Each structure stands twice: as C-alpha cells, then as structure tokens.
Amino acid sequence: MSLSLFWPYKSIGNRDHPPVVFLHGFMGTGADWHKIAERCAKSFFCLMPDLPGHGHNIELPLSQPLNFDIVATDLNNFFEQLNLDNVALVGYSMGGRLALYTALRFPHKIKALVLESSNPGIAVEQGRQTRAEADDRWAETLLSEGIDIFVEQWYEMDLFHTLKSYPQHFKQTKEKRKRNDAQWAAKIIRELSPGRQPSLWEDLDSLPMPVMLMAGALDSKYSEMMAVMKARIPQATVEIVPDAGHNIHLEKPKHFAELITDFLQRTMG
C-alpha cells in the first residue's frame, strides 16, 4: 500500500552529484536540514522532503492509515519519481527510524545510511505497548489542549534539555513546531509511534551498506544505544559528538556536516 501523492521537497546542489536524502524528525520539515545541506551541497545533491503529516505534505485525508511500511514504500516511490539511485539516507530521530526501515526494505536503493539519535524500535512487546499508550496520551493532549501547549510540554522532556543552552534555537524550534496541524501531529504521534513500529533489532545484521551511527555525548541514552547497535551492524561506525544532545544537527551544525560529508565521500565514491 502507498500514500501515492508526490512528497513536497527542497533541494540544493548539482543533480549530477550523488544524491543524499535528509529525513526530519517529528513535527519538523525538510527545511530543518537547510544549513546542513548548504554545507554538503558542493559534493552532493541534497534533497529534503516533508514527511507525511508535516510541512506541506498534508494533502492526504486524515482517515488514510499510516505505518512505517506505507511510508517507506512512499519514500521509495519518491526515489523513483526523481530517478534517484544509490541514495544516501540521513535521518534524525523519527526520520532515522524511517531511514533504517527503508534501508532494510529497499537495500538495493540505499548506498549509505546515517542515523542521528535514532533507534531500531522497542524489542520487548510490553515496552512497545507501554510506549504506544504513552503516545496515545500525548495525542489526546494535542487534541484537547492545542498545538501550542503540546509543543511547550513536549520540549520540556529531558531528551531536549540541551537545546535550552541555545536560547535562540530553542525559541525558533518551538515556534516552527507550533505551525503544525494539531490533528496531523496527533495522527503521526499515534500511528508512527515507536510502540507501533516493528522492532528492527533482529534485522540489523542484514544491512549491506555502510552505516554511521551518531549521538550527542550529552544524550546518554542514545550514546549507549549506538554502541549496542554497532555490534550488530556489519559496516557500522559510531560518532559521539562532544557537547551535543539529542539534536546534533541543530546544536552543532558545522561539526555534524563535516562528519557526514567525510563519511559520505568515503562511501559514495
């Protein structure tokens, strides 16, 4: 099953260069990657789509079911519509989960994979159920309290505490997130919850492409998880970025761009 509509996207760089597709996180848009893409565009053709339910990609009926299989199929359709082969995927958080799912579903299309603060899902069924229930409660808050209150509460989570060290970025990020449609955001947090995503832990050893796993040193949960993932992925490297939290590409854009450019130049040649 596919969502069938063409995804809105922005691009920077020469179409003759190797393609790199950047996938944003929950409540983000393709434009979140602009600063990173600018730094990578000398060597790569950088594409930044809005994922379903985000930015300008909200033309589907809200009744349309969403799951990672559907969205990964549509991402593959996006590649085909733009005649993209040997793609590098760079994904942050929810976008990283989608990038990993797509790399496992369509490995012949993916030349390299970069996962920033992303995980393969929740291995234990009880854990998945608990997370799904928690995200259902977030969705209820969204619909009952509105997007502004939801965003303020969402960014009080420990996961984002380091963003507060960048007051201007923190303020701008929340302002951008408040532009989301509340019904779509509620749908995304329910239906693309890690609690409703199949666990991919047992599939990591089948990834045939080079993989870079990235986490901020101040994000202890994901820093530790990267080491566990690396042990299961045949061609994995890990980059732990000093003085960064969950959102490395926002907090340390120059360092982030340098790391992925070096990795992609080595693996996309």
**Does residue 1 carry a pLDDT above 60?**
no
DSSP string spanning 82-136?
A: TT--SEEEEEETHHHHHHHHHHHH-GGGEEEEEEES-----SSHHHHHHHHHHHH
Q: Are 265 and 43 in contact (CB under 8 A)?
A: yes
Place of tokens 């977030």: 138
Instruction: Give 218-234 pLDDT, tens digit per residue.
Output: 999 999 999 999 999 99
Instruction: Give 51-108 pLDDT, tens digit per residue.
Output: 999 999 998 889 989 999 999 999 999 999 999 999 999 999 999 999 999 999 999 9
Largest Cα–Cα distance of the chain, in whole Å?
Answer: 50
Instruction: Give 159-200 pLDDT, tens digit per residue.
Output: 999 999 999 999 999 999 999 999 999 999 999 999 999 999
Nearest 5°: CA angle at 184, between 179 and 189? 105
Report the percent of the chain where pLDDT is more than 70.
98
Q: What was the pLDDT predicted at 60?
A: 86
Report the percent of the chain where pLDDT is more than 90.
95
**Does residue 3 carry a pLDDT above 70?**
no
| CATH number of this structure's domain 9-121+197-267, picked from the four choices 3.30.460.20, 3.20.20.140, 1.10.150.20, 3.40.50.1820 | 3.40.50.1820
| Prediction pTM value | 0.96
Q: What was the pLDDT predicted at 5?
A: 62
Q: What residue ranges do the domains of the chain occupy?
A: 9-121+197-267
Instruction: Give 238-264 pLDDT, tens digit per residue.
Output: 999 999 999 999 999 999 999 999 999
